[in-house]
Amino acid sequence: MTPDFSMALAFGLWVFGPALAIGLIGYSALNAIGRNPSASNDIKTTMILAIAFAEALWIFAFVIAIMIKFVK
């Protein structure tokens, strides 16, 4: 496998996970706010923290893809 293809494959597959996670986090938070509107501030804070952790996985994927590209 060429480094370019390996980079694209690693990045593409690894980014799918955080994208799915962020979608599920948003869905669950909106569902929870719909059920209990008085707790919306706590739910929003927890949702933003969870999205930040999911985005960290995207950053790891980017770093690994760059390493595959440039390290021989």
- pLDDT per position as a tens digit, 2-39: 777 877 787 788 888 888 999 999 999 999 999 999 99
Domain enclosing residue 7, as ranges: 3-70
Higher-scoring residue by pLDDT: 72, 29: 29
Q: What DSSP string describes 16-58? A: HHHHHHHHHHHHHHHHHHHH-GGGHHHHHHHHHHHHHHHHHHH
CA angle 33, 51, 65 (to 5 degrees): 155
* Length of the chain as a residue count: 72
Q: What is the CATH number of the domain that holds 47?
A: 1.20.20.10
Tally of domains within the chain: 1
Q: Is the pLDDT of residue 72 over 70?
A: no
Full-model pTM = 0.74
